[in-house]
Structure 1
């Protein structure tokens, strides 16, 4: 766990995942008709939050695989 936190991919994963959760929540519960009108009918916070969650998970897997490989050597 310590190597995961000190690895840049681990820090990026946690940061992106948390921002993704915030944006996803805002997109699900805080989007108004005015917001949708500004973005052409697209729930931008929702889609951006979902994308950040996916990127955060990819970074977390990459960091976990990297730390696991260094322990085996």
Structure 2
């Protein structure tokens, strides 16, 4: 969690529980952008996912960013 918070603090975000805060992919997308050194356009993922499909899209998009 320390590693994640070190990087997400640049966006004024803090993670206290990986399982509950990474389940929708939002923090993961933002973290991947920070680690790779680029801004992830907010229109590329769902900032406030409303359903399971949007959450899956976010997680899949985060994995695309890892490649």
Query: Normalising by the residue count of structure 1, what TM-score does the alignment of the two structures yield?
Result: 0.32
The structure that has the greater radius of gyration is: 1
* Structure of higher RCO (CA pairs closer than 8 Å, 6+ residues apart): 1
Query: Normalising by the residue count of structure 2, what TM-score does the alignment of the two structures yield?
Result: 0.34
